[in-house]
């Protein structure tokens, strides 16, 4: 574990120009760092707040070298970047997180195996490479099950629930795009996630556990603290630590889990970066997930994480934007974050709202009563 302290005035390179990169960059700027973004699109959310941008694809080696030349440390804001290119770059410049974390988390087959090796429970699964294996897998795993592409899926894209033979044609089409994972459907009671950070000095910190509610496979709201027992909380953090140890984690990792009614915990997936379900930390914690990530990769001591107040975070998708803007005058308690994306497409994450609350149930009802999110409920 190499530790190098990056000082204010030095430069952080971020691969990826989305909203996570933007919020990371804002935290970096607050601490006095310069920020350079590598991103293919011109007017990206992170590019809007960076000191400099390199407009190029994530596997463009000459662009990556330019980023290395301009940066004292490099991090990334999402996992679907090119592993080979990142691995090559890591041999030439300082990337404390390394490339292995990306290799594992961008491949579901490898991710599942790593979780099993970490000693945590995952849904029964099979790696599926062809139609024949799919039929064999369904015999052992049974219905309902979920077929997910091994690479590249997010927000419910690249997956299909198989309840019976009528979904097999659609499943065959999904298989054409490459290897898949077939997982048993877990009838869960709650979906939760924990975001944790480990610094280059080996310090590990956890953010409060979020309870996540998805609509159409896209995160709709996160409730913090999750409505779980203290024993469950301890168990969840212990499982997260086992995973962090297995991965030799540096930086930020989000672990999504399913909780069943009989108290079992299944780990669903990992994200090696700040996470949508951790956005509440900006207002509700002593430090945000972005601030802690910057400290971690820059070799600064991590801050103690405390929840200042219970919170609800709600995502704003493309179809919600205008309705949210109309609600602003009526809702002084809403902390509103718009990411600066140029086009409000249906189901595209455009921003989020956080509310600090004394009464979770009442504020959850208030969000519903606006009817902004009603169509998807």
Mean of pLDDT over the chain: 94
CATH class entry, domain 11-95 = alpha beta
Predicted confidence at residue 374, as pLDDT, reads: 72
Q: Please report, in angstroms and rounded to a whole number, the separation of the first and last CA atoms in the chain.
A: 46
Structure token digits, residue 247: 């991965």
Asked whether the beta carbons of 205 and 196 are under 8 A apart, the reply is: yes
- Closest by alpha carbon to 19, among 348, 357, 369? 348
CA distance 97 to 117: 20
* pLDDT, tens only, 67-89: 999 999 999 998 888 999 999 99
Which among 126, 105, 127 is positioned nearest to 115, based on CA atoms? 105
CA angle 272, 2, 99 (to 5 degrees): 35
**Same fold flag, 11-95 and 190-376:** no
pLDDT digits (tens, 9 = 90+) for 194-249: 999 999 999 999 999 999 999 988 999 999 999 999 999 999 999 999 999 999 99
Q: Looking at the domain that runs over 124-184, which CATH code has it been given?
A: 3.30.1490.20
Q: How far is residue 23's CA from residue 223's CA, in Å, rounded to a whole number?
A: 20
What average pLDDT does this structure show over 257-272? 95
Q: What is the 3-state secondary structure (H, E, C) of 73-141?
A: EEEECCCCCCHHHHHHHHCCCCCCCCCHHHHHHCCHHHHHHHHHHCCCCCCCEEEECCHHHHHHHHHHH
Whether the pLDDT of residue 21 is over 50: the answer is yes
**How many angstroms separate the CA atoms of 262 and 310, rounded?**
26
Residue ranges of domains in the chain: 11-95, 124-184, 190-376
Q: What integer pLDDT is reported at residue 192 of this predicted model?
A: 98
* pLDDT value of residue 108: 94
Residue 152 pLDDT level (bands cut at 50, 70, 90)? confident
The CATH class that applies to domain 190-376 reads alpha beta
- Given a contact cutoff of 8 angstroms between Cβ atoms, the answer to whether 271 and 254 are in contact is yes
Q: Which pair of structure tokens corresponds to residue 30?
A: 């607050």
Of 210, 351, 184, the closest CA to residue 271 belongs to 210
pLDDT of residue 122: 97
pLDDT at 352 over 70: yes
pLDDT value at 377 more than 50: no
């Amino acid at each position: 574990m190499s530790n190098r302290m990056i000082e204010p005035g030095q430069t952080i390179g971020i691969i990826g120009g989305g909203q996570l990169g933007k919020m990371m960059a804002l935290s970096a700027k607050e601490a006095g760092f310069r920020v350079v973004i590598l991103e293919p699109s011109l007017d990206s959310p992170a590019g809007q707040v960076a000191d400099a941008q390199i407009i190029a694809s994530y596997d463009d080696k000459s662009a990556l070298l330019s980023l290395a030349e301009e940066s004292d440390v490099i991090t990334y804001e999402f996992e679907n970047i090119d592993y080979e290119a990142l691995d090559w770059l890591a041999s030439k410049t300082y990337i404390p997180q390394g490339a292995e974390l990306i290799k594992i988390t961008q491949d579901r087959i490898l991710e599942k195996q790593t979780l099993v090796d970490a000693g945590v429970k995952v849904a029964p699964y099979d790696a599926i490479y062809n139609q024949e294996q799919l039929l064999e897998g369904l015999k052992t795993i049974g219905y309902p099950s979920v077929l997910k592409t091994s690479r590249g899926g997010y927000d419910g894209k690249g997956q299909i629930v198989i309840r019976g033979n009528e979904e097999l044609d659609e499943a065959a089409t999904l298989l054409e795009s490459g290897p898949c994972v077939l997982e048993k459907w877990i009838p869960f009671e709650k979906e939760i996630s924990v975001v944790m950070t480990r610094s280059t000095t080996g310090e590990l910190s956890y953010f409060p556990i979020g309870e996540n509610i998805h609509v159409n496979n896209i995160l709709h709201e996160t409730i913090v603290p999750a409505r779980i027992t203290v024993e469950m909380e301890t168990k969840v953090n212990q499982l997260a630590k086992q995973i962090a140890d297995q991965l030799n984690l540096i930086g930020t990792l989000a672990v999504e889990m399913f909780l069943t009614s009989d108290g079992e915990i299944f780990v669903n997936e990992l994200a090696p970066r700040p996470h949508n379900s951790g956005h509440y930390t900006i207002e509700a914690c002593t430090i945000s997930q972005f601030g802690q990530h910057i400290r971690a990769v820059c070799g600064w001591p991590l801050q103690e994480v405390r929840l200042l107040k219970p919170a609800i975070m709600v995502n704003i998708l493309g179809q919600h934007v205008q309705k949210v803007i109309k609600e602003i005058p009526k809702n002084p308690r809403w902390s509103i974050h718009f990411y600066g994306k140029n086009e409000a497409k249906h189901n595209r994450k455009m921003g989020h709202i956080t509310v600090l609350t004394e009464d979770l149930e009442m504020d959850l009802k208030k969000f519903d009563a606006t009817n902004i999110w009603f169509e998807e409920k």
